[in-house]
Amino acid sequence: MSSTKLARGITLYIAFASFRVANVALIQSQFDPDEYWQNLEPAYCYVYGNGQQDSLSCQGLTWEWRRRPNTPTPFLIFNDVPSLVEAVRQAMEQGPVRSFASILPTMIFYHIIQYLQWDSSWMISRGPLVLNAILVAATTDWTVWYISQQWITMTAPTITSTTTKTKMGISTNSKLLGSRSISWINFCVYCSLTSWFNAYALVRTYSNSLETMLVAVSVALVSQDLLLESRPMGWESVANACIAFFLGGVCSAIRFTCLTIYVPLGVILSLKLPTKTATVSYLMGICAIFGALGFLSTVSLDRIMYGFWAFPVLGNIHFNVLQGYGSLYGTHPFYWYLVAGIPALTGMLLPVLCYDLILVKSWDYGRRNLWIIIGSCVIAHSGSAHKEFRFLLPVLPLFCLVAGTRLQDVASKWRRQWFLVSLLTVGAALNFMVVLKLGLIHQRGSIDVNRMILNEVVAPDQTSRLVATSPDHQRIHNIHYLMGCHSTPLMSHLHAPPIQFETWYLDCGPTCRADPNVDCESESFSKNPTAFLQQAYYRCSGEKDEQACAAAAAAAAADTDSLEGSTAVRAVPDFIVCDTGNLAEIRNILESPIMNMEEIGRFFQGIHSIQVGSPIVEGTEDDLNSKKEWSEMQFFYGFVRLRLEEIVLFRRVMI
């Protein structure tokens, strides 16, 4: 690569990184709990937990990280086949299901800012998003640019040796391809940068985001062989493929569903070789061996971090595939990705992709291969009962490549260029509005409530590293989250040393979810919030009325400030977080003299319902909903009413 092209590539990467860092400012909400509970929370626990045992007691560590085999294997030595089989069985049934490879960047970041004493609350909670924007999102955008550059360079007709350098660094025939190459590349980059789902999800700290970047880099490494059928595979191709499939092994350890992309990728590349022997050698000697090396590198990392030989991918396969417990967290029909997942993921690109499918007979070699990889990933994920939009995030860059190149072909036939520019501007504006709504408004309360708790307990004049100095701030603050489990981030958003927090959130782990005879704490609370609180704080059965429960608790508790009498299960906390769905049923208990809580804040979470026109009839479901403590917004003299879902914060009144 020439120095000019290298400089141009670095310049573009800096531009993409700047764009994605600005993108982070638009993400002030929670999309899915995993972005915190499977990244920031475990990273925080292991960095600030002061060792393996202390980390296990960290409140932000979920069951995926806590599972331990009955007899952990400190050394990878198996004397016989039965011992090996037993080790595999324990790894599948009892071992952890998450690899440290997925949180390694966040852990390194936390260690660095801890060493430099830059670990403010903002750096702990928002810093990983900035890091992800630079290392993951910007890299993905850059690979889209790079692959599109390779594609147009290889498929361009060559009539004369006269070349010119375009703005994007491509040397092509100036007469035939000067504008076409720039437009092709620009359309692909446009699709990536204006994608609402990239802006909303790619900068978040999901393992899916890291998976997307690894897939995009791998495809970029082998792009010349993947997109051009006539290109011979030389030593440079082999070296690039080795790196690509090494990254594939790392990706598969993070999420084993990466195999749905890397297996067809390896098969496509191997079939370019002239003989069956060469094809098999490529599959076994490059794809399999270097994939295994990448996988073993993550196994070594997990051995260091867990303290024993752990194979999280085996636990993940056992939990999600063999037991099918992924369905405990929601199910969709097999066709869901086709009718909902892909349309939502691609957004404005969907019509272009549909048009490209119609023109299947005109596909070139590279376009066909991209669709094979996309189809393999979608079909494999459709077989799982549990489906989420973000599971298809790794193929979104491929969608951008397919749509961008097809969009350029369509645009080149339009004579009214002003109309095309207007259409693209409107598309970008609509995507931007979606990101504004989802990133700044929808489910923002999950983040804002913890910020207010920090503001309540941290001295207001502390602006850099949040260190409280007054004696009252040295105490431990207790927070109870009486809402769906993992509805908010936890310790990563409550960082304010030396202040400490003790938290309790309602359990909803797979053990209770899978047992039809057992209710999880979150389910018990949802069914009967009043009885749950009486049992949790008073140890009263639902048969007693509220006054009897309160009297029993008051009589048994010598110190009403702590409620640690013989009948109290949990002490009344400093803060309670709940939502408006159950607020009307528990407010009297929270504000009773025993608990002595007061509401200090409400935070918008979403729109519960919209009612137009008809009045509320007594006794109907609308009437019951109206008696709940929804906040309402009315328009057109009450003709249109919006009921808002909010997260509500209570603070204990100290007497």
DSSP 147-202: HHHHHHHHHS----S-EEE-TTS-EEEHHHHHHHHHHHHHHHHHHHHH-HHIIIII
> Of 169, 208, 184, which Cα lies nearest the Cα of 7?
169
Average pLDDT for residues 466-487, to the nearest whole number? Answer: 71
Dist CA 559 CA 568 (whole Å):
11
Average pLDDT for residues 135-141, to the nearest whole number? Answer: 97
Phi, psi of 586 (to 5 degrees): -115, -5
DSSP string covering 383-405, please?
A: TSS---GGGGGGGHHHHHHHHHH
More confident residue, 480 or 460: 480
Quote the pLDDT of residue 33: 93
Tell how many helices (H) and how many strands (E) occur in the chain: 31, 8
Per the CB < 8 A criterion, the answer to whether 528 and 539 are in contact is: no
Using pLDDT thresholds of 50, 70 and 90, give the confidence band for residue 5: confident
**Taking 90 as the threshold, does the pLDDT of residue 65 lie above it?**
yes
Dist CA 579 CA 490 (whole Å):
16
> Of 316, 436, 336, which Cα lies nearest the Cα of 389?
336
Per the CB < 8 A criterion, the answer to whether 139 and 216 are in contact is: yes
Question: 503-533: string of b/e by CB count within 10 Å (b at 16+)?
Answer: bbbbebbbebbeeeeeebbbbbbbeebbbbb
Quote the pLDDT of residue 57: 79
Quote the pLDDT of residue 544: 47
Phi, psi of 490 (to 5 degrees): -125, -110
Dist CA 196 CA 15 (whole Å):
19
Using pLDDT thresholds of 50, 70 and 90, give the confidence band for residue 173: very low
Strands 500-505 vs 476-482: parallel, antiparallel or unpaired: parallel
**Taking 90 as the threshold, does the pLDDT of residue 52 lie above it?**
no
Per the CB < 8 A criterion, the answer to whether 270 and 282 are in contact is: yes
Mention every residue, 6+ apart, whose C-beta is less than 8 A from residue 309: 72, 73, 74, 75, 76, 87, 299, 302, 303
Residue 268 Ramachandran class (φ > 0 left, ψ -120 to 50 alpha, else beta) = alpha
**Taking 70 as the threshold, does the pLDDT of residue 323 lie above it?**
yes
Q: Which of helix, strand or coil describes residue 581?
A: helix
Average pLDDT for residues 291-316, to the nearest whole number? Answer: 93
Radius of gyration of the chain (CA): 28
Whether cis (ω within 30° of 0) applies to the bond prior to 498 is: yes
Mean pLDDT of the chain: 84
**Taking 50 as the threshold, does the pLDDT of residue 566 lie above it?**
no
Mention every residue, 6+ apart, whose C-beta is less than 8 A from residue 175: 160, 162
Quote the pLDDT of residue 410: 82
Q: Which of helix, strand or coil describes residue 229?
A: coil
> For the chain, what is the largest distance between any 2 Cα atoms, rounded to a whole number of angstroms?
96
Q: Give long-range contacts, CB 8 A cutoff, 24+ apart: 260-263.
A: 260/376, 260/377, 260/380, 260/381, 261/215, 261/373, 261/376, 261/377, 261/394, 261/395, 262/215, 262/218, 262/287, 262/291, 263/376
Average pLDDT for residues 603-619, to the nearest whole number? Answer: 73
More confident residue, 229 or 355: 355
Quick one: CA dihedral 8, 14, 20, 23, positive or negative? Answer: negative
Per the CB < 8 A criterion, the answer to whether 109 and 127 are in contact is: yes
Average pLDDT for residues 585-594, to the nearest whole number? Answer: 89
Per the CB < 8 A criterion, the answer to whether 439 and 26 are in contact is: yes
Q: Which percentage of the chain shows pLDDT scores above 90? A: 57
> Of 291, 392, 375, which Cα lies nearest the Cα of 332?
392
286-299 tens-digit pLDDT = 999 999 999 999 99
* Cα of 30 vs its chain's centroid, Å: 9
Phi, psi of 79 (to 5 degrees): -75, -25
Structure tokens at 317: 């396969």
Query: What single DSSP character describes residue 329?
Result: G
**Taking 80 as the threshold, does the pLDDT of residue 647 lie above it?**
yes
Q: Which of helix, strand or coil describes residue 583?
A: helix
397-406 tens-digit pLDDT = 999 999 999 9
Structure tokens at 502: 């003790």
- Residue type at 199? A
Quote the pLDDT of residue 164: 41
Using pLDDT thresholds of 50, 70 and 90, give the confidence band for residue 184: low
* CA dist list (Å): 43 to 40, 115, 607: 5, 15, 33
**Taking 70 as the threshold, does the pLDDT of residue 431 lie above it?**
yes
> Of 317, 325, 310, which Cα lies nearest the Cα of 99?
310
Count of residues for the chain? 655
Using pLDDT thresholds of 50, 70 and 90, give the confidence band for residue 160: very low
Per the CB < 8 A criterion, the answer to whether 549 and 541 are in contact is: no
**Taking 50 as the threshold, does the pLDDT of residue 554 lie above it?**
yes
Quote the pLDDT of residue 609: 80
66-84 tens-digit pLDDT = 998 887 766 655 555 666 7
* Cα of 149 vs its chain's centroid, Å: 29
Per the CB < 8 A criterion, the answer to whether 205 and 36 are in contact is: yes
Per the CB < 8 A criterion, the answer to whether 66 and 56 are in contact is: yes
> Of 119, 134, 167, 131, which Cα lies nearest the Cα of 5?
167
Angle between the N-to-C axes of helices 104-115 and 41-48, in degrees from 0 to 180, rounded to the nearest 10: 40
Which of 372-381, 493-502, 604-613 shows the highest mean pLDDT? 372-381
Per the CB < 8 A criterion, the answer to whether 484 and 478 are in contact is: no
521-542 tens-digit pLDDT = 999 999 999 889 888 887 664 4
Phi, psi of 294 (to 5 degrees): -60, -40
